[in-house]
Amino acid sequence: MSIIKKIVTFKPSFNLRVIVGLISVVGFLAACAITGFSDLTKALGEQDAKYTARAIEAGAKVYFDQCARCHGADGKGIEGQGPALSSVTFLGKKEGKIEVQKSQRLLDIQWVGNLDGYIRAVTASGIPLKSSNQWEVTHPAFGQAYGGNLRDDQINDVSTFILNWSQAPATAGIIDSPKPGAAFTPKATAVPLTPEQEAGKTAFLKNGCNACHAIKGVAQGNIGPNLSTFGTTAATRFTEADYKTSQGKAATADEYIHESIINPQAFVVAKCPQGACPSGVMPPTFGKTIAEGDLKNLVSYLASLK
Q: Which residues are near ligand HEC by CB under 6 A? A: 62, 66-67, 69-71, 81-83, 85, 90, 105, 119, 122-123, 127, 130-132, 135, 137, 139-140, 142, 158, 177, 204, 207-209, 211-213, 223-225, 230, 233, 237, 257, 260-261, 264, 268-269, 272, 277-278, 281-283, 286, 298, 302
Q: Nearest approach, Cβ of 107 to ligand HEC (angstroms)? A: 12
Q: For residues 67 and 75, is the Cβ–Cβ distance under 8 A?
A: no
Report the alpha-carbon distance of residue 48 to residue 52 in Å, rounded.
Answer: 6
Report the alpha-carbon distance of residue 229 to residue 153 in Å, rounded.
Answer: 49
Residue with Cβ nearer ligand HEC (93 or 139): 139
> CA torsion angle for 237, 240, 246, 249 (degrees, to 10)?
60
Residue with Cβ nearer ligand HEC (65 or 95): 65
Q: Nearest approach, Cβ of 183 to ligand HEC (angstroms)? A: 15
Q: Nearest approach, Cβ of 271 to ligand HEC (angstroms)? A: 8
Residue with Cβ nearer ligand HEC (24 or 246): 246
Q: Nearest approach, Cβ of 32 to ligand HEC (angstroms)? A: 47
Name the β-bridge partners of 118.
Answer: none
Q: For residues 229 and 306, is the Cβ–Cβ distance under 8 A?
A: yes
DSSP string covering 149-200: SB-HHHHHHHHHHHHHGGGS---SS--PPPPTT----PPPPPPPPPHHHHHH
CA angle 158, 182, 92 (to 5 degrees): 35
- Does the CA dihedral 155-160-162-163 come out positive or negative? positive
Q: Nearest approach, Cβ of 147 to ligand HEC (angstroms)? A: 14
Residue with Cβ nearer ligand HEC (24 or 285): 285
Residue with Cβ nearer ligand HEC (50 or 130): 130
Residue with Cβ nearer ligand HEC (1 or 128): 128
Residue with Cβ nearer ligand HEC (17 or 61): 61
Q: Nearest approach, Cβ of 172 to ligand HEC (angstroms)? A: 18
Q: Nearest approach, Cβ of 252 to ligand HEC (angstroms)? A: 14
96 phi, psi to nearest 5 deg: 65, -125
